[in-house]
A and B are shown apart, each in its own frame.
Chain A
Amino acid sequence: MFKAGGRTLPACSLLLLKEIEFVKRRVLPGLPLSLGITLLYVGLIVVLPLGALVFKAASLGPEDYWRIVSSARAVASYRVTILAALGATAFNLVFGLALAWILVRYRFPGHRLVDAIVDLPFALPTAVAGIALTTLFAPNGWLGSLLGDLGIKVAYTPLGIMIAMSFTSLPFIVRTVQPVLEDLDPALEEAAQSLGGRDGAIFLRVILPLLAPALLAGLSLSFARSLGEFGAIIFIAGNQPFETEITALLAFIRLEEYDYQAAAAIASVLLVTAFVMLAATNLLQARALRYTARN
């Protein structure tokens, strides 16, 4: 109970008062100004370059466009890229979720160090990551030679592409799931346990539904990032057409031929794929949020 204006109020109403005051006093000056700046920024930094890309691709006639984006080599590169991105995202789903869980629920020596290391793939130039991973996984590298003895080749195979992708996109899953896990009340699990739920069932039917929106967001970001990754991959992929050539490299190759239109056409396929996928997950996420709100 708090004292306010000579009367005694319950704590929740004080919170309510505070909230109303917060809404009245805006932190940023002037909505029109801040909205204007934001929209201008989005326009200049995001929409304009992407618009230029679409414009360039659109300057091809529909027939030329279709011929370029549906050529056997381009289609093979979509297959390589999408399969590797799916693999990397699946890997990150399991490993990223486990990492977030451990970081939130346990305190161990070096906890904060691990927490900081998770962000490293964001900070590291991707080319550096690519060279480091190749050094590690090349047939004469530390891990590569061990795996080689088991008959597993990583560097210069699709597996290498997958590893480079999962390296650069791991933080997305950890960082989207972590805050939600932190807010998750352990009392829910305890309640489920006291009602006789088994561990597996509690995870699947209590925890997972609550994590689903965040997990979905992390997965889609991770997948989109993997689709577009270039720097880390070209060092570890063998860059063999039809086998380990990713779509971003094919666009780069067209650029090297001074064929801006073809490069834009191939890039537009990546763009549309990423956009459709992000839009779809946003939809799913909204539904999931409604579901949790109802329950």
Chain B
Amino acid sequence: MKRFLLVGAALAAFLASSVNSQSADKLLNASYDVARELFVQVNEAFVAAHPGVTIDQSHAGTSKQARAIVEGLEADVVTFNQVTDIAFLVKNGFVSEDWQNDFANKASPFYSLPSFLVRAGNPKNIKDWNDLVRDDVEVIFPNPKTSGNARYTYLAATAYAKEAFKDDPAKVAEFIDKLFDNVPVFDTGGRAATTTFVEREIGDVLITFESETTGIRKEFGEDKFEAVTPSVSLLAEFPVAIVDKVADQRGSRELAKAYLDFLYTPEGQKILAENGNRVNDPAVAAQFKDKFPEVRLVTVEDVFGGWDKIQEEHFASGALLDQVYGER
């Protein structure tokens, strides 16, 4: 009996301590696949300004993250690379409907674009999207069905083709078809595609976020790879949101807001820019001007009429993207 009491007391103490730790000095940030290094730096700076706070991070494809949160992953904030996956959280009552008004720039503290990375000297002379459909070019990007990163790639290529072929659906489809024919390996995530291109030395050009191309050159040698910015690309927003349901339950809303606000401060924007992300803060943007070549960016709203429409016309089962695969 005595032993039971002891065990009971220990259990109660353990439960109490775990309840204590829930008082908001700890956040879980659920983020996209290739943001590991970025948020390590962001978290370090944030913790330096807020001593005693711990920020945990989790990285995976953001559709997977959204599903995990709905199924019980207690993430206080999300920093995703796709609006659609936050929309899924809204649909399931985890994030409020007007989340895009909670933070500036439609809750997107930074932006990027699908851009190219080629091998040193650009041996295949790849300059723009139309070079990617040449017969002698192998292109690497992950599966748009499993990677938000590749979804932007697919959309950017489509946006280019729509402009180049004056919205002729048959020609656009042919262009996309040829592009996909040139992809030898479809990895499931952005980082896996990077590995295929860099470590396995497969393909002539990797298409991924501009921030990832900066990171790769930093990591593997600026003399080994060259970044190529196409003439036109798609604005990729990186939306952030407080997961209301979790934050209210854990009492972490205040800290969560401070954390996301931090991304908009000059200090936060500088870390973002250093990692190859484009930012809106005018002073920081001016400081990093040389790192980001001029590029014409089109938006999802202008070209495709918004994410809902894209989902329905392009990414749903049996929609345009599946038809590209079906024709192979």
A interface residues, Cβ below 8 angstroms from B: 72-73, 134-135, 138-141, 155-156, 234-235, 238-242, 249, 252-259, 262
Contact = CB atoms under 8 A, between A and B. Distances in A.
A63 to B, nearest CB: 14
**Which of A141, A239, A241, A256 has the most chain B CB atoms closer than 10 A to its own CB?**
A256
Contacts of A238: 184-186
A139 B188 contact: no
B317 A235 contact: no
**Which of A72, A135, A240, A252 has the most chain B CB atoms closer than 10 A to its own CB?**
A240
Contacts of B322: 73
Contact of A139 (B143, B187, B192, B202): B202
B190 interface: no
Contacts of B146: 252-253, 256
B59 to A, nearest CB: 14
Given A140-B200, A155-B200, A241-B328, A257 B184 contact: no
Contacts of B188: 234, 239, 249, 252
Interface string B75-104: 000000000000010000000000000000
**Which of B61, B63, B315, B317 has the most chain A CB atoms closer than 10 A to its own CB?**
B317
Interface residues of B, number: 25
B157 to A, nearest CB: 18
B263 to A, nearest CB: 26
Nearest to B84: A258
Nearest to A243: B328
Nearest to A240: B186
Contacts of A259: 317
A140 B145 contact: no
B145 A253 contact: yes
Interface string B108-127: 00000000000000000000
Contact of A235 (B63, B143, B192, B201): B192
A73 B326 CA distance: 7
A156 B202 CA distance: 11
Contacts of B143: 239, 253
B145 to A, nearest CB: 4
A16 B146 CA distance: 62
Interface string B1-14: 00000000000000
Nearest to B62: A256
Interface string B307-328: 0000000011100001001101
B86 to A, nearest CB: 13
Interface in B186-238: 186-188, 192, 199-202
Contacts of B315: 257
Contacts of B63: 256-258
A140 B201 contact: yes
A255 B322 CA distance: 15
A138 B64 CA distance: 28
B67 interface: yes
B61 A239 contact: no
Given A73-B326, A239-B187, A258-B67, A139 B201 contact: yes
Given A253-B145, A257-B315, A156 B185 contact: yes
Given A239-B185, A239-B186, A256 B64 contact: yes
Nearest to A72: B326
Contact of B200 (A134, A249, A252): A134
Interface of B is mostly: loop
Contacts of A140: 200-201
B184 A156 contact: yes
17 contacts: A134-B200, A135-B199, A138-B202, A139-B200, A139-B201, A139-B202, A140-B200, A141-B200, A235-B187, A235-B192, A239-B186, A242-B325, A253-B146, A254-B317, A257-B316, A258-B88, A262-B317
List the 3 shortest-distance A-B pairs measured between CB atoms, nearest first: A138-B200, A239-B186, A241-B325
Nearest to A241: B325
A239 to B, nearest CB: 4
B136 to A, nearest CB: 17
Nearest to A245: B186
Given A73-B322, A253-B145, A258-B88, 19 more contacts: A73-B325, A73-B326, A138-B201, A138-B202, A139-B202, A140-B200, A141-B200, A155-B200, A156-B185, A238-B184, A238-B185, A240-B185, A240-B186, A242-B328, A249-B188, A255-B67, A257-B317, A258-B63, A259-B317
A137 to B, nearest CB: 10
B194 to A, nearest CB: 13
Nearest to B88: A258
A235 B63 CA distance: 19
Contacts of A242: 325, 328
Contacts of A139: 200-202
A72 to B, nearest CB: 7
B2 to A, nearest CB: 23
A291 B320 CA distance: 57
Nearest to A135: B199
A53 to B, nearest CB: 15
Interface in B161-193: 184-188, 192
A156 B138 CA distance: 14
A257 B186 contact: no
B248 to A, nearest CB: 24
Contact of A256 (B145, B185, B192, B325): B145
B193 to A, nearest CB: 11
A255 B317 CA distance: 11
A242 B327 CA distance: 10
A73 B325 CA distance: 9
Interface in B233-279: none
